[in-house]
Amino acid sequence: MTSVTVGVLALQGDFREHAAALERLGAAVRLVRTPDDLAEVDALVIPGGESTAIGKLADWHGLVGPLRERIDAGLPALGTCAGMIFLASSTVEGTGQVQLGVLDVMVRRNAFGRQVDSFEAEIPVVGLEDPVHGVFIRAPWIEKVGAGVEILAELEGRPVMVRQDSIIATSFHPELTADGRLHTLLLDMIREG
């Protein structure tokens, strides 16, 4: 494919694992820490991490507005775990944490429990032949979805992967496995324009 640059939001979290996954697929990666970095990218990954810390850092450093504008304007985006919470419009807890609100879902943080409840499970995904190996770490689930949101995977009746236009979000961490299929979906969205 022609060279594309995928941004990985690098305020905090496992951004290096996402960068490595994208590089294995032949994409150029730019770590995004400032609005200038963001201007240079053709797609964006928001990694796993702590959503409160990522939200605060984005807010303090003037990234919330530019992130909203670019994603609303169609920048393909993939958010995993904390990234899903950051993309979402609200949380059940409603504690006033900073969120982009570009993905029309309500999430429940730490919905599957604390760290001792963290787990791995095989997750069938709509459109993929074989299940994805899901690594769930203090993972959120999606409590409610808006009209334009397609549910791509569920666990125990709870959505754990969704798509809305060119935004994909997961409760789990594909970047912690060698499976590049979800990152490929992101790269496909760039090509589809």
State the catalytic residue, choosing from 61, 69, 93, 173.
173
Residue selected from 49, 76, 159, 174 as contacting another protein according to rule CB under 8 A: 49
Residue selected from 64, 68, 89, 120 as contacting another protein according to rule CB under 8 A: 120
Look up 50 and say whether it is catalytic.
no
d(CA 38, CA 32): 6
Q: Are 88 and 169 in contact (CB under 8 A)?
A: yes
Q: Are 74 and 165 in contact (CB under 8 A)?
A: yes
Q: How many CB atoms lie within 10 A of CB 158?
A: 17
Size of the site for another protein (CB under 8 A): 37
> Looking at 52-60, 66-74, 157-165, 181-189, which segment touches another protein (CB under 8 A)?
52-60
Does 82 sit near another protein (CB under 8 A)? yes
Q: Are 13 and 47 in contact (CB under 8 A)?
A: yes
d(CA 133, CA 121): 6
Look up 173 and say whether it is catalytic.
yes
> Looking at 21-29, 67-75, 110-118, 143-151, which segment touches another protein (CB under 8 A)?
110-118
CB 73, min distance to another protein, A? 26
Does 60 sit near another protein (CB under 8 A)? yes
Assign 136 to helix, strand or coil.
strand
Pick the closest to residue 34 from 68, 53, 5, 62 (CA basis). 62
- Catalytic site positions: 81, 173, 175
Residues that bind another protein (CB under 8 A): 10-17, 33, 48-50, 52-53, 56-57, 60, 81-82, 93, 95, 109-110, 114-121, 135-138, 173, 176
